[in-house]
Amino acid sequence: MRLPFASTTTLSLISAAGALGATAWHIARNAAPPTFDDAWYLETSFRLWTALKSGPLSFFHAYADAFRIKAPLISLVPLPLYALFGAGERVAVWANLPLAALAAWSWSRAAAEWWRGHPRARDAAALGGALCALTPLAYGLSRLFLVETLLTALLGLWAWRCAAAKRDDRAEGFRLGALLGLGLLTKVTFPLIAAGFAWPARERLRPHAKTALLVALPIAATWYAANLPYVLGFAWSAGFGRVASGYAGSNGLAARLDWLSSILRDGLSWPLAFSMAAVATAAACFAREKPGAGLRTALWGLAPLLVYAAGVNRETRLVAPLLPVAALLTARAAVAFPGAAARGAAVAVLLSAGLGVCAEQTFRTAPGRALSFNGAPKAGPFWDRAGLVDAVAASGGRVAAVVLEDPRLNANNLSSLAAARGLDLKFVSLGYAQTSAEAARIRLKDKSCDTLVLVDGVPESESPAFLNRANAGVRAMAASGRLRTRPEARAELAPGVAATVLRLIW
């Protein structure tokens, strides 16, 4: 098989466009409600939009108070779409499509700088960008309203500018500072994952460090000035502490190997992972090229994986922003073969594997066979969240506690829907992994809850056990009168599943 230079680039562009087109189709067809984190990002986005319509002061106050424990930039990204199409849970997800395209492009630019001087650098950059777009974890997350697509795009731009920076380019400090500030507003751990790309370029970046910090700090301070202690505390807990323990499972070498396996299985997929490994191994055996500085930069960029491996939280999506590095390294290996036929075969194997998995995970994979954050779009039927929101709003509730944490219905996705409608109504959970009914009761008081929502008909085995440990105790308190309540309404959520709305009497 002989692929001329232009054909490799063209095939890569077509493949990347295919992945983005599949994501656009999926977003258009998917009607599934948000679940937990994505619903929280959406709720905050809608409340920021409502505040913006009220005026600049209201907006800046809402922005400073947003999340407290999570950086808020992702919730600002869809605001222009709301101005055009109205606030809505499915509208917001469309903001990820241009971000996914930007991520693939920015990483391809980073590759072009890493492999500068190689006779097939353009091939490697185009193929690397296509593989970024064809990474299952990347396109799966871009179909949900989560932070990783934005984070991947900003990290790609950062890696590119670190690789391209020149000592005498005075504008570089402003570019790097803007990216660092926006990265911090996207996720507090951005400096951790960005440091690996800056370290190999430290001599070229040193003249720009002061300017970059003077630009980045005011940008980040717009939110961190009021929230730094909260977000740092949560970041530690989510990586190594109490919050992380909810996602941890077991520890030790076996757990780390399982984590690595999940990255290969769900982050890349076995077909693409095996194809990448085969191409890299064959290139190492038969190519006669020296590694060069670009390879060292890429390997430094992967260094944060060691921190994630040492942590307690082994949620797969944490590594999503770093998977493009593996894609770029594989693309570089594919163009390293001395013969055109071998290069063409390597390109064909990689793109075929990526496109095949993308098609399966977009158009026909059932939930039981879907990779993490993937699967065919869902058209319903779904639980009637709208009916429950209407019932609580009609009862005059302002802060409603939900005695259920389930992907289909929980405090986050009920708050998201209420915020999208512009209602002055919030839903809260009984507390993250709250273990006692008494502690949950204290939380209800602290959150000024005036309404309690009980959900009947959901088997305990269907909901995350560690998020629902206080449910039975709170129910017993309400039934015994220790928690005084008055019935207000009842809403049918699904066949056999109903919610009872109770007024709390303090």
Dump pLDDT digits (tens) for 127-170. Answer: 999 999 999 999 999 999 999 999 999 999 999 999 999 999 99
Between CA 335 and CA 344 the distance in angstroms is 8
- Rounded to 5 degrees, what are φ and ψ at 426? -125, 150
Q: What is the CA radius of gyration of the chain?
A: 24
Between CA 226 and CA 222 the distance in angstroms is 8
* Cβ neighbours for 495, distance < 8 A, ≥ 6 positions apart: none
Between CA 263 and CA 258 the distance in angstroms is 9
Q: What per-residue confidence (pLDDT) applies to 250?
A: 53
Segment-wise mean pLDDT, segments of 10 residues, the chain, 506 residues: 64 97 97 95 97 96 94 98 96 98 98 93 96 98 97 98 94 97 97 95 96 97 94 76 57 82 94 97 85 86 89 86 97 93 95 96 81 92 96 96 95 97 94 80 93 94 88 92 93 96 94
Q: What per-residue confidence (pLDDT) applies to 366?
A: 67
At position 132, the amino acid (one-letter code) is: C
Strand partners, 492: 498
Strands lying side by side in the sheet with 426-428: 426-428, 399-402, 451-456, 497-504, 485-494
SS3 content of the chain, % helix, strand, coil (to 5): 65, 5, 25
CA distances from residue 38 to 23, 169, 174, 186 in whole angstroms, order as listed: 17, 39, 31, 14
Between CA 305 and CA 481 the distance in angstroms is 51
Tokens of 460: 């305990």
Pairing of strands 451-456, 399-402: parallel
Between CA 147 and CA 321 the distance in angstroms is 10
C-alpha 250, offset from chain centre: 24
Question: What is the C-alpha end-to-end distance of the chain, expressed in Å?
Answer: 77
Tokens of 486: 């008055």
What one-character-per-residue DSSP string does 264-284 give? IIIII-HHHHHHHHHHHHHHH
Q: What is the pLDDT of residues 337-378, one digit of tens each?
A: 999 999 999 999 999 999 999 999 999 876 678 999 999 999
Tokens 């731009």 appear where?
Answer: 157
Between CA 265 and CA 226 the distance in angstroms is 40
Say if residues 162 and 198 touch (Cβ distance below 8 Å). Answer: yes
Say if residues 453 and 500 touch (Cβ distance below 8 Å). Answer: yes
Tokens 């496109």 appear where?
Answer: 355
Record the pTM: 0.93
C-alpha 237, offset from chain centre: 18
Q: What per-residue confidence (pLDDT) applies to 243?
A: 62
Q: What per-residue confidence (pLDDT) applies to 467?
A: 87
Between CA 305 and CA 288 the distance in angstroms is 29
Q: What per-residue confidence (pLDDT) applies to 242?
A: 63
Say if residues 191 and 303 touch (Cβ distance below 8 Å). Answer: no
What one-character-per-residue DSSP string does 104-138 give? HHHHHHHHHHHTTT-TTHHHHHHHHHHHHHT-HHH
Angle between helices 209-240 and 172-186 (to 10 degrees): 20
Q: How many residues does the chain have?
A: 506
Q: What per-residue confidence (pLDDT) applies to 322?
A: 97
